[in-house]
Amino acid sequence: MPEKRIVRLFCKRCQKWYEELLDPSELDLSPVGVFSVAFDHGDHVLTVFLDEQFAIRGDNVADKVAEDSQDEKSRALEYFEKY
């Protein structure tokens, strides 16, 4: 079984470095040899793309959807599904 690894990540939104412990056995490697891991940073999410050697191949920061707006979207979908 592969060992757990510590990866240093930089969040462009927070402007901070983070160290995260990752367990390779819990990650799904894509057919192209890259896997993604998302980290909750409060009002946003940092997604990091790593290769099999745990080298960072890219990252993305996205805003979280507020629960209130999600509820409104759900209500709208329920309304239109009736018709």
pLDDT digits (tens, 9 = 90+) for 29-48: 788 888 899 999 999 999 99
Residue 82 confidence (pLDDT): 67
| Amino acid (one-letter) located at 12 | K
Q: Counting beta carbons within 10 angstroms of the beta carbon of residue 49, is it exposed (0 to 12), middle (13 to 18) or buried (19 or more)? A: middle
Residue 24 confidence (pLDDT): 84
Of 51, 78, 58, 79, residue with least CA distance to 10: 58
Domain range summary for the chain, segments of one domain joined by +: 5-81
Distance (Å, whole) CA 64 – CA 2:
32
pLDDT tens digits for the chain (83 residues)?
478 999 999 999 999 999 999 988 888 878 888 889 999 999 999 999 999 889 999 999 999 886 655 566 566 667 667 66
